[in-house]
Structure 1
Amino acid sequence: MEAHVAHVNEEENEDPGAAPYGNFINYYSFNPPENRLSLIPETLLENIGLGSERVLILDVGCNSGDLSVALYKHLLHDEASGSDFPQREVYLLGFDLDQDLILRAQNSNPFPQNIQFIPLDITDDAKSQAVLESYVGKFGCLRFHLCTCFAVTMWVHLNHGDAAFLSLLSKLASLCEYLLLEAQPWKCYRSAARRLRKLGRSDFDHFKTLEIRGDMAAHAREHLENQCSMELVQSFGNTTWDRSLLLFKRR
C-alpha cells in the first residue's frame, strides 16, 4: 500500500509509474529502507520501555516487506542477522492490499518464525479488525505495542476521501500503544494526481473535493491528539523526501 534518490525535483522523481494505491513494484529500489531507518534510533524499543519483554509490531502497508525486515533487524541491533533465533521476543506482522507484493514478501522473508506477511486492506474495517485482533489475541494482548505506518495515509485519503483519512488515523490509534507515523505532505498528493493524468488515467475520485489539505502531518497530529487519546512524544526529523517521522503514544 505504500511508498533514495537525491532530493532533486522530488515531485517528478518519487514513486515513478502508476500505482493508484501506492503499491509500487520495486518501491525500495528508489526509496530504500535506510531513508527511514537512519532517523529511527536502534534503541527505540528500549527508549519507550519495550526492551526486555515480548513486543508485537504492526507494519501497515508493508509493500514487499523490505522495510519491515530491515526495521526488525534495526530494532534488534542486528542481533537477528547472525541467528535464526533472536535473543528478544519481537514479532512483526506486515500487511498490504496487494497480494503480489505480499507473495514477494513471504518468499523473501528471512525470519518466518518472527515475521509474518499477510494480504489485508486497512479500509476493510470489519475484516481487518477481526484479523488483527486475532493476531494479538494469540499472544494474550489487546493491541500491538508499536504500529508503523509509512507513507500510507495519502493513498487512503486520495482513494476514499476525508472521512477515510480520519478513520484510518483513528483505527491506527486503536490498534497500538505507540504509533510511528509518516504522512505524505500535500505536494505528494499533487504529484500523484499529475502522474495519473500524464498516463492518461482518470484522476483520483476524491482529489479535487478534499477539504483536508495543507500541512498533512499537522492535520494527523491534531486528530490523533484531540480525537484519539494519543500524544506526540517525539519527532525523528524529516527523511530525504522531506517527510516527518512522528512517534505518538497512547495516553
Structure 2
Amino acid sequence: MTRAALLVLADGRFPAGGYAHSGGMEAAVTSRDVYDAATLEAFCRGRLHTAGLTAAGLAAAAAAGHDPLALDEAADARTPMPALRQVARRLGRQMLRAARATWPSPGLDLLARVRPQGAHQPVVLGAAARSAGLTPLDAAQCAAYESVGGPATAAVRLLGLDPLEATALLARLTGELDEVARTAAAAAGRVPAEGVGALPAASAPLLDVIAERHAARTVRLFAS
C-alpha cells in the first residue's frame, strides 16, 4: 500500500460513523465549558493529551500486530464510564465493517469473529492501519487527529463558528499532535517487553462525567 492509504483512513468521509459523534463537544457546549474559539482550543488540546494519547497508543499497538484481545481489554480498563465504552464499541463495529470492505485481511476477519459485539474503536483503527500497510506511527497519528478533528468539526455546527477558525485551530495543534503520536508509537514499541501496561493511560475525568450526562439526555444532536 502507498502512504495515501493514511489519507483515506483519516478522511472524515471514511464511512466509519464518526460524523455522528462529537467527542464530548456537544456536552461541553451544553455545560458552557466551550463557548468560543479560545475555549474550543483549550478543550481540544486537553483531549489530545489525554483521551487522544491513550487512543493513539492502543491504535499504534494494534498496528504493530499485538494481541487485539489484550488490547481491547486494555481499552476497557482505560474507559471506566459505561457510556464511553458503548460509544467506543459502536464506533469500532462501524469502522471494522468499513475497513473489511476497504482492506480485507485475515486480521480484520479474526477481530470480527472474536469481538462480534465490537472492539474498541482505537484497536480497530490500528488493525485497519495494519491491513492497509501503514505503520504504528501512522495509526497513532490518525487516532490523535481524530481526537481533535471530530470535536472541532462538531463545534462549527454547535456554536456557529467560522470553519476557518476551526481549521486554523487544528493547524496550530499539529506540532503537539505529532508529539503525541510519537510518544504513543514509542510506548507501543515497549509492549513486547513490558506488556500492555506500557501503553498510555491518561485520564480525563471531565470527559467521563459529561459523557454520562450526555447519554442521559433525551434530545441531542450527536450520539456522543
Does TM, scored on the shorter chain, surpass 0.5?
Answer: no
TM-score, reference length from structure 2? 0.29
Larger radius of gyration: 1
Q: TM-score, normalised by structure 1?
A: 0.27
The higher relative CO (CA closer than 8 Å, separation ≥ 6) is in: 2
Kindly indicate which of the two structures has a greater share of residues assigned to helix.
Answer: 2
Structure with more of its chain in strand, by fraction: 1
